[in-house]
Chains A and B, each alone.
Chain A
Amino acid sequence: MYRILKNINLTDSIYLLEVLAPLVVANAMPGEFVIVMTHEDSERIPLTIVDYNKDTGVLTLVYQVVGESTLELSYEKDELFSVVGPLGNKALILDNLDKEKILFVGGGVGIAPIIPQVRYLFNEGIKADCIYGTKTKDSVILESELVSLVDNLFIMTDDGSYGEKGFVTDKLDKIVDDYDIIVAIGPVIMMKYVSEIAVKHNKKIIVSMNPIMIDGTGMCGACRLMIDGKVKFACVDGPEFYGEKIDFDAALNRMIIYKTEEGRRYLKMIEGDTHEGGCGHEKN
C-alpha cells in the first residue's frame, strides 16, 4: 500500500495527488510515467510523473477525471493499492540540451508533465518558453510554478477569459520561427497539429503519447503506435517520440476503442439509475 499525502482539486475535474513511493522516486526522470491502482480490482491507470522528491520519497501526479477509474482515484484519500514505476524512457529533450531555444506547448492537463522537464532545464541553467492552452480561466493549473521556471509563458484560453483568446496553434504559428525545438504534451489532436506546424517550419518536435495500456512493461501490446512505419509500444519505446515520425491518424483511430465503454460506466456511476443514455448507449 502507498500512503496518500494529498489528493486535492486544482479545478473541477483536475486533481493533484501526492503519494509516498520512495522506490519509484529514487530513479525517476522527467518524461517517465507510473501506473497506479486504487484497489485490487481497479484498472491500472498510467499517469505521467509531475514531480518527485528524492529526499522525501514523495511522488506528485496530476490527473483529470475522465472515467470511472479516475473518479474512484479522486475519492481515495488514505492509500493506493499500487504505484509502479518509473516506466518508459526519460524525456527526449534531455538528449537535445544543445538546442538554444526550446519551446514547450502544453494543452489542458498535459501542462502538468511539462513541469518536471522545465524544472530539470531550469536547474541546468536553461530557460525555455511555454505556450499553455486551456479552455477557460478556471481551468488554468500550476501557473505560479510555470512562471517561476520558464522565461516566457503564453497562456491561451478558448474563450479569451484569461491570457490570449485562441488555441495553442494560433500562438505557435506566430512564434515558431524563434525556436529550435518544440516539446508538445496534450491531447493527441493538439500534438498532431503542433507537429504539422513544426514540420512545416523545419523544427524538431517531441511529443508524449499516452495511449491505453495495461502492464506498462511491454507485455500486452495495447499501447502500440505506428512510428516511422513500424509498430512501437508507447510504454517501453516511448512515451515520447519525435512528432514527425508518428502516424497520428492511426493513433486517433485507436483511441475510440474503449472510450465509449468507460464513458458509459462513468456516466452511470455519476448519474446512477437516472442515466438516460446521453452517452449514446442504446436503451434496451
Chain B
Amino acid sequence: MKKTEMRLQDAAIRQTNFKEVSLGYTKEEAIREATRCLNCKNPMCIKGCPVNIMIPKFIECIKNGNMEEAIKIINESSSLPAVCGRVCPQEKQCEKYCVKGFKGDAIAIGALERFCADWAIENNYESKVNIIDNNKRIAIIGSGPSGLSCAYELRMLGYDVTIYEALHKAGGVLTYGIPEFRLPKSIVQKEIEEIQNIGVKIITNVVVGKSISIDELKEKYDAIYLATGAGLPKLMDIKNINANGVYSANEILTRVNLMGAYKKESKTPIKIPKQVYVIGGGNVAFDAARVMKRLGSSVTIMYHRSEVELPARRDEIKHALEENINMEFLKNPKEILVDDDYSVKGLKYVNMVLLDEIDSSNRRCVKETDSYDTVECDMIILAIGTNINDLAFKDSMIKTTDRGLIQVEGTHTSDESVFAGGDNTTGAATVILACGAGVRAAKEIDEYLGGKNEK
C-alpha cells in the first residue's frame, strides 16, 4: 500500500494567501496511513526522534480509532505536537529510520502526529493532569520551543514555573519566525494556552539582562533555564550591506509574522518589491521567499552550494517550487549594487564550484571561481544564519565558548543554578532539538533540586 499524501492548498491559489499550505489528514486518511505501520519489535523511528515519542504505540491507537489514547501517548514525550508535526524535518529524523522507507515510502509519522494534535484541539481534549506542587520556583528565559517544553515538563513535576519573554507575544521563533502558512499562529497559541492551563506563568515584555538581571532572578528563583535561542541575524561582509532594501530574514519575518504586516489592520509598513533575491538555503530562506511571493513579489533563492545540499525541509523545497519560486545554485553574493538613493538595484555574485570534500554539516564544500555576474533586483534578504544573542546573560558570570555559545555540560552552565539548552548552546538548529533540550534541562534541574524524577 502506498503512502497517503497529505492534501495541499492549490499551488496557484496559495501563492496569494497566507492560509496553511498543508491541509492535514482526515480521520479516514489517518487510519489508512496508520495501517501501513508494521509496529516493529525494535522500532528505530523512536531513536530518530529527539524527544523519543513512542511512535508505533500512538500509531497503533490511531489504527484502532482511539485518538484520545494516541494524543495521550504523544503528550508523554512532547508538549508541542501540533507544532512539531508541522515543522519537524521528519525525513531526517523518525521517518529516516522507518523500515518501510528502505523500500518505498516511510510511514508519514509527522502527518500522523499532526493529525492527533489537531484532533485534540478540535475536540477540546484536555489531558487530565495531577500536579502536586513542590513550591520550588523556576524562571525560564525565552518562550520559544525550548522554554515551553522545559516549562511543561517542570510544571508536570510540580514546580512553580515562570517564563519571561522579551517580545509582546509568547512563542519565540514559532511566533515571529515561522510563517502562518506553515504554522498557523492559532495553533501556536493553542499549544501555549495548554501549557498555561497547567499553571505555567508567562510574563511578556521583559528583557532579561536589561529589565531584570540573572543575578536578581537568582534571588527569587531556585533555578533558571536560559532558552534564549539564536536570534541575532548574520550579515555579509560585502559592499553596500546597509543599502535600503537589504534586510535580514529576521526583519522580514518579524514584520510579517509577529507584526502581521500582511493583514489590513496592521500598522507595520512593508514595501512590496518587484524582484527579491533571498540569500541562503535553509528553512528561514524558504520562509522569507514564500512570504515575499505571497505579498506579490517575484522571488529567487540564491544558494552557494547545489540543490542536493539545501538544508531546508524537503516539503518546503517542494512547496516553494510549486509556488514558482526560482532557485539559483552555486552562486554567492559579492557586492550589492545601489542607485543614487542608496537603494538596492542589483546584486553582483561569484560563481561557485562543488568540491569533493564534505564538511561538518555533511554537505559538499564549494569554492569560488573567477567568474562574476550581476542580476537586477530591488530587495535582498539575507537568510544565512543567526548568532546567539547574549543580552540576557552578558553581564552575568555564565561562560561561553569560542563560538560565543553558552558553555554547557548536558544543560548545566558554569553557574550551578543556571541551565541552558537549545539554539543558545548549539547554534541555530530545529524546533524539535530545542524541545529535546528543554526536556533534558527539566530532568537535570529536577535532579539538581533534589526532586524525585518519577518518569
Q: What is A's interface to B at a CB cutoff of 8 Å?
A: 23-24, 26-27, 32, 37, 40-44, 68-69, 72, 81-87, 214-222, 224-226, 231, 236, 250, 253-254, 256-258, 261-262, 265
Given contacts A37-B168, A83-B205, A236-B391, are A220 and B254 in contact (CB under 8 A)? yes
Ranked nearest first, the 10 interchain pairs of A and B with the lowest CB-CB distance are A253-B342, A221-B248, A261-B269, A220-B251, A84-B205, A82-B168, A219-B231, A221-B233, A257-B244, A43-B267
Q: Which residues of A contact B233 (CB under 8 A)?
A: 219-221
- Cβ of B244: which chain A residues have Cβ within 8 Å of it? 253-254, 256-257
Contact in complex: A253, B341 (CB < 8 Å): yes
B22 on the A face (CB < 8 A): no
Q: How far is the CA of A23 from the CA of B208 in the complex (A)?
A: 11
Question: Which residue on chain A has the smallest CB distance to residue B338?
Answer: A253
A218 touches B241 (CB 8 A): no
Q: Which residues of A contact B263 (CB under 8 A)?
A: 41
State the Cβ distance, B135 to closest chain A Cβ, in Å. Answer: 24
Q: For the complex, what is the distance from the CA of A135 to the CA of B14, rounded to whole Å?
A: 52
Question: Please, how many angstroms separate the alpha-carbon atoms of A217 and B389 in the complex?
Answer: 8
A258 to B176, CA, bound (A): 21
- Asked if A86 and B211 sit within 8 Å, CB to CB, the answer is yes
B250 touches A219 (CB 8 A): yes
CA distance A24 to B205 in the complex (A): 9
The yes or no answer to B80 lying at the interface (CB within 8 A) is: no
Taking CB atoms, residues of chain B closer than 8 Å to A262 are 269
Given contacts A256-B244, A261-B271, contact A219 B213 (CB under 8 A): no
Q: Are B389 and A68 in contact (CB under 8 A)?
A: no
A236 to B207, CA, bound (A): 12
Complex interface: chain A residues within 8 A of B235 (CB): 221, 224, 231
Interface size of B as a range: 35 or more
Q: Which residues of A contact B199 (CB under 8 A)?
A: none
Q: How far is the CB of B99 from chain A (nearest CB, A)?
A: 42
| Set A27, A44, A220, A224: member contacting B213, Cβ < 8 A | A27
Contacting residue for B211 out of A42, A82, A84, A226, CB 8 A: A84
Give the complex CA separation of A207 and B241 in angstroms.
23
B88 at the interface (CB under 8 A from A): no
CA distance A216 to B391 in the complex (A): 11
With A23-B212, A27-B213, A85-B211 known as contacts, the answer to whether A222 contacts B251 (CB < 8 A) is yes
Asked, given contacts A68-B267, A217-B389, A222-B251, whether A254 binds B212 with beta carbons under 8 Å apart, the answer is: no
Which B residues are in CB contact (< 8 Å) with A219?
176, 231-233, 250, 254, 389
Neighbouring B residues of A42 by C-beta, 8 Å: 267
Q: Are A84 and B166 in contact (CB under 8 A)?
A: yes
CB pair A224–B391 under 8 Å, yes or no, is no
CB of A80 to closest CB in B, whole Å:
10
Q: Which residues of B contact A221 (CB under 8 A)?
A: 233, 235, 247-248, 250-251
For residue A27, which residues in chain B have a CB less than 8 angstroms away from its CB? 210-213
Q: Is B259 an interface residue (CB 8 A)?
A: yes
Chain A hits for B204, CB < 8 A: 82
Residue of B204, B205, B235, B244 ringed by the most chain A CB atoms within 10 A: B205
- B residues bordering A, Cβ < 8 Å? 166-168, 176, 204-207, 210-213, 231-233, 235, 241-245, 247-248, 250-251, 254-255, 258-260, 263, 265-269, 271, 341-342, 389, 391
Q: Which of B168, B265, B267 contacts A69 (CB 8 A)?
A: B267
- Distance A105 CA – B212 CA, assembled complex (angstroms): 32
The answer for the CA separation of A248 and B73 in the assembled complex, in Å, is 59
Whole-angstrom distance between the Cβ of B240 and the nearest chain A Cβ: 9
Contact check, B271 vs A217: say whether CB atoms are below 8 A apart. Answer: no
Q: How far is the CA of A265 from the CA of B267 in the complex (A)?
A: 9
- Given A222-B251, A265-B269; A217-B341 close (CB under 8 Å): no
Expressed in whole angstroms, the Cα–Cα distance for A81 and B231 within the complex equals 24
CA distance A225 to B315 in the complex (A): 37
* Complex Cα spacing A32 to B210, Å: 10
In the assembled complex, how far is the CB of residue A72 from the closest CB belonging to chain B, in whole angstroms?
8
Nearest-neighbor residue (CB-CB) of B270 within chain A: A261
- CB distance B212 to A26 under 8 Å? yes
25 pairs from A and B in contact (CB 8 Å cutoff):
A23-B211, A41-B259, A43-B268, A44-B259, A69-B267, A81-B168, A84-B167, A84-B207, A214-B255, A214-B258, A214-B259, A217-B389, A218-B232, A219-B232, A219-B389, A220-B248, A220-B255, A221-B233, A221-B235, A222-B247, A250-B242, A253-B242, A253-B342, A257-B244, A258-B269
Q: In whole angstroms, how far apart are the Cα atoms of A195 and B206 in the complex?
A: 35
Report chain B residues within 8 Å CB of A41: 259-260, 263, 265-267
Residues of A within 8 A of B245 (CB): 257
A84 B168 Cβ-Cβ under 8 A: yes
Q: Which residues of B contact A258 (CB under 8 A)?
A: 269, 271
Closest chain A residue to B233, Cβ basis: A221
CA separation between A159 and B254, bound complex, in Å?
43
| Docked-complex contact A87 and B207, CB < 8 angstroms | yes
In the assembled complex, the Cα of A44 lies from the Cα of B207 at a distance in Å of 15
In the complex, chain B residues whose CB is within 8 Å of the CB of A224: 235, 242
Cβ–Cβ contact A85 & B207, under 8 A: yes
Rounded to whole Å, the gap between the CB of B452 and the closest CB of chain A is 35
Q: Contact check: which of A40, A85, A214 meets B210 at CB < 8 Å?
A: A85
CA distance A263 to B87 in the complex (A): 38
Q: Is A215 in contact with B242, judged by CB distance below 8 angstroms?
A: no
Bound state CA distance, A261 and B270, in angstroms?
A: 8
Q: Are A231 and B206 interface neighbours, CB within 8 A?
A: no
Known: A82-B205, A253-B243, A265-B269. 7 other contacts (CB 8 A): A23-B206, A40-B168, A82-B204, A84-B168, A87-B210, A217-B391, A254-B244
Chain A residues lying within 8 Å of B391, measured Cβ to Cβ, are 217-218, 236
Residue of B nearest to A21 (CB): B205
Query: In the bound complex, what is the Cα–Cα distance between A37 and B265 (angstroms)?
Result: 14
User: Which A residues touch B167, using CB under 8 A?
Assistant: 84, 215
